[in-house]
């Protein structure tokens, strides 16, 4: 029976679970594969550091290079740019299949890695890099290979979904919900990368490149976090039958005579309560895909955590191992076109706008005129009157229009005398 040598780089939260599965489920994996997967070693910075899982001490080493040289399959779970990048390139160069969960590296430098893998004729897989346990990369690449994806919307950050779900359920303000999430371990002490949308932006760029077979540079993602979402926004959304989610949206647009372009944006978004993404609670993730023939699809599951992410890693390991056992050529990875990144102004979307206005005749007419002058049409309007003859609140949801036209509309509304306050401007999807 064939033995495949597996090197593991990194032994944190996910790495330790991968090691556990490789050791504990060895008999099962051998039966499924018809080959043995031998964990030859685990490269770490400090062999004596405490681990989540009890693993044989003799597996640990600080010499990652030596492990990589001698492996059929290299699992990279160190994270960060270096030495991960160099070790992956060496592994591919030696003809080893590589499995990684390193979304930062892929978002920053994926094209170079895919190219190296294709040139070497070996497999580079990274299911764990986007949305943890959720099988999303393989379905997009294989199952939808005979269709055309037009849009991908993902709840791809568990921390922000946990916070927004808590705000929706309990009516808490952002700061309190964040503090509670930190207390429970759903948010880090420095939550910036999560709450400001940077983590979601990296995943959005990877999803766009997969869905549209194109390079997409992380710097072209337009990104807005959730720290300005208020309890009042949540409750107004609830009253109108919506929920607020932080979405990473990758969308293909026709850019007039310039052909097609791709937009990736991350922002808090109103979704109708009956939308499938609205039912994604707590720290769960989900990716919603629209394709020309398939219509609407959604993939739901745990986006983080040791064991769930290890499940995605092991799916890639077994698939790579099956190919090594079977022999034969390796299919090319990422098909890389070069669709231009569209700036946010060119994207069409729709807005929900909350206004505090003087309760006097002619206000609605004045506001409606501004919408009309900018070519933005109104889908729904709700008015709430506070007290008697004092002030009123107007909430508009627009039809889809260009971001440029919507932004100009909001600016012009701010300058109307009858407007006391523009209380909230949020984008809307799924209507």
Residue 59 in contact with a copy of itself, rule: CB under 8 A: no
Residues 175 and 260: beta-carbon distance below 8 Å: no
Residue 303 in contact with a copy of itself, rule: CB under 8 A: no
Flag whether 188 is marked binding: yes
Residue 21 in contact with a copy of itself, rule: CB under 8 A: yes
Flag whether 14 is marked binding: yes
Choice between 322 and 369, CB closer to a copy of itself? 322
Whole-angstrom CA distances from 40 to 44, 192, 204, 266 are 13, 37, 34, 41
Burial class (CB in 10 A: 0-12, 13-18, 19+), 201: buried
Judged by CB under 8 A, the stretch of 56-64, 238-246, 247-255, 325-333 that binds a copy of itself is 325-333
Judged by CB under 8 A, the stretch of 44-52, 74-82, 175-183, 280-288 that binds a copy of itself is 280-288
Residue 191 in contact with a copy of itself, rule: CB under 8 A: no
Residues 403 and 349: beta-carbon distance below 8 Å: yes
Residue 315 in contact with a copy of itself, rule: CB under 8 A: yes
Instruction: Give the pairing type, strands 378-386 and 391-398.
Output: antiparallel
Q: Which SS3 state, helix, strand or coil, does residue 70 take?
A: coil
- Closest distance of CB 407 from a copy of itself, Å: 33
Helix ranges (H only) for 102-217 are: 103-120, 137-138, 158-170, 174-183, 192-195, 198-211
Could you tell me if residue 331 is left (phi over 0), alpha (psi between -120 and 50 degrees) or otherwise beta? beta
Number of residues that bind a copy of itself (CB under 8 A): 60
Residue window 255-274: x/- pattern of binding to a copy of itself, with contact defined by CB under 8 A: -------------------x
- Closest distance of CB 340 from a copy of itself, Å: 18
- Closest distance of CB 270 from a copy of itself, Å: 17
* Position among 302, 349, 352, 398 found at the interface with a copy of itself (CB under 8 A): 302
Q: Which residues contact 309 (CB under 8 A, 6 or more apart)?
A: 13, 14, 17, 101, 128, 132, 133
* Position among 47, 223, 231, 279 found at the interface with a copy of itself (CB under 8 A): 279
* Position among 209, 263, 311, 409 found at the interface with a copy of itself (CB under 8 A): 311
- Closest distance of CB 16 from a copy of itself, Å: 13
Tokens of 339: 């669709």
- Closest distance of CB 147 from a copy of itself, Å: 4
User: How far apart are the C-alpha atoms of 336 and 81, rounded to whole Å?
Assistant: 22
Choice between 274 and 361, CB closer to a copy of itself? 274
Flag whether 175 is marked binding: no
- Closest distance of CB 315 from a copy of itself, Å: 4
Residue 122 in contact with a copy of itself, rule: CB under 8 A: no
Residue 326 in contact with a copy of itself, rule: CB under 8 A: yes
Q: Which SS3 state, helix, strand or coil, does residue 215 take?
A: coil
What are the phi and psi torsion angles at 366 (to 5°)? -65, -45
- Closest distance of CB 349 from a copy of itself, Å: 23
Kindly list the catalytic residues: 203
Flag whether 105 is marked binding: no
Choice between 81 and 335, CB closer to a copy of itself? 335
Flag whether 184 is marked binding: no
Flag whether 388 is marked binding: no
Tokens of 97: 């299949």
Flag whether 223 is marked binding: no
Instruction: Name the residue among 406, 405, 388, 404 with its Cα closest to residue 396.
Output: 406
- Closest distance of CB 21 from a copy of itself, Å: 7
3-state DSSP: the chain helix, strand, coil percent, rounded to 5? 40, 30, 30
Q: Which residues contact 104 (CB under 8 A, 6 or more apart)?
A: 79, 80, 81, 202
* Position among 182, 227, 319, 391 found at the interface with a copy of itself (CB under 8 A): 319
Could you tell me if residue 164 is left (phi over 0), alpha (psi between -120 and 50 degrees) or otherwise beta? alpha
* Position among 72, 127, 233, 393 found at the interface with a copy of itself (CB under 8 A): 127
Flag whether 13 is marked binding: yes
* Position among 79, 83, 171, 305 found at the interface with a copy of itself (CB under 8 A): 305
Residue 35 neighbours by CB distance under 10 Å: 18
Instruction: Name the residue among 26, 58, 25, 24 with its Cα closest to residue 40.
Output: 58
Considering Cα of 370, then 372, then 377, then 378, what sign does the dihedral take?
positive
- Positions at the binding site for NADPH: 103
Binding region for a copy of itself (CB under 8 A)? 17, 21, 25, 28-29, 32, 127, 133-135, 138-139, 142-148, 213, 274, 276, 278-281, 284, 286, 291-302, 305, 307-308, 310-319, 322, 326-329, 331, 335
């Amino acid at each position: 029976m064939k033995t495949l040598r597996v090197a593991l780089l990194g032994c944190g939260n996910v790495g330790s679970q991968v090691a556990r599965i490789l050791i504990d489920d060895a008999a099962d994996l051998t039966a499924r594969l018809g080959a043995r997967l031998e964990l030859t070693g685990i490269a770490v910075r400090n062999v004596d550091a405490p681990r989540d899982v009890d693993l044989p001490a003799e597996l640990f080493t600080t010499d990652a290079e030596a492990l990589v040289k001698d492996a059929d399959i290299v699992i990279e779970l160190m994270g960060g740019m270096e030495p991960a990048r160099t070790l992956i390139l060496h592994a591919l160069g030696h003809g080893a299949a590589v499995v990684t969960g390193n979304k930062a590296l892929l978002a920053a430098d994926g094209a170079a890695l895919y190219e190296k893998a294709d040139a070497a004729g070996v497999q580079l897989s990274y299911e764990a890099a986007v949305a943890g346990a959720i099988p999303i990369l393989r379905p997009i690449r294989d199952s939808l290979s005979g269709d055309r994806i037009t849009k991908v919307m993902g709840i791809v950050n568990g921390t922000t979904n946990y916070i927004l779900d808590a705000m929706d359920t309990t009516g808490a303000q952002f700061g309190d919900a964040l503090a509670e999430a930190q207390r429970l371990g759903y948010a880090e002490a420095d939550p910036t990368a999560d709450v400001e949308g940077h983590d979601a932006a990296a995943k959005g760029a990877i999803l766009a490149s997969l869905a549209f077979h194109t390079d997409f540079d992380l710097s072209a993602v337009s990104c807005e976090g959730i720290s300005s979402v208020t309890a009042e926004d949540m409750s107004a959304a609830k009253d109108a039958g919506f929920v607020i989610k932080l979405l990473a949206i990758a969308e293909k647009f026709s850019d007039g005579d310039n052909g097609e372009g791709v937009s990736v944006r991350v922002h808090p978004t109103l979704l109708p309560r009956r939308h499938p993404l609205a039912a994604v609670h707590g720290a769960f993730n989900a990716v919603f895909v629209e394709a020309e023939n398939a219509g609407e699809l959604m993939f739901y599951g745990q986006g983080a955590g040791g064991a769930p992410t290890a499940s995605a890693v092991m799916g890639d390991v077994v698939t790579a191992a099956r190919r090594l056992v079977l022999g034969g050529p390796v299919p090319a990875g990422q098909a890389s076109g070069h669709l231009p990144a569209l700036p946010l102004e060119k994207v069409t979307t729709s807005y929900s706008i909350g206004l505090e206005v003087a309760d006097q005749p002619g206000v609605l007419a004045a506001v409606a005129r501004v919408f009309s002058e900018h070519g933005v049409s109104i889908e729904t309007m709700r008015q709430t009157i506070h007290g008697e003859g004092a002030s009123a609140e107007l909430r508009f949801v627009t039809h889809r229009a260009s971001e440029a036209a919507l932004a100009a509309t909001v600016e012009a509304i701010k300058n109307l005398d009858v407007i006391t306050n523009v209380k909230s401007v949020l984008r809307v999807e799924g209507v």
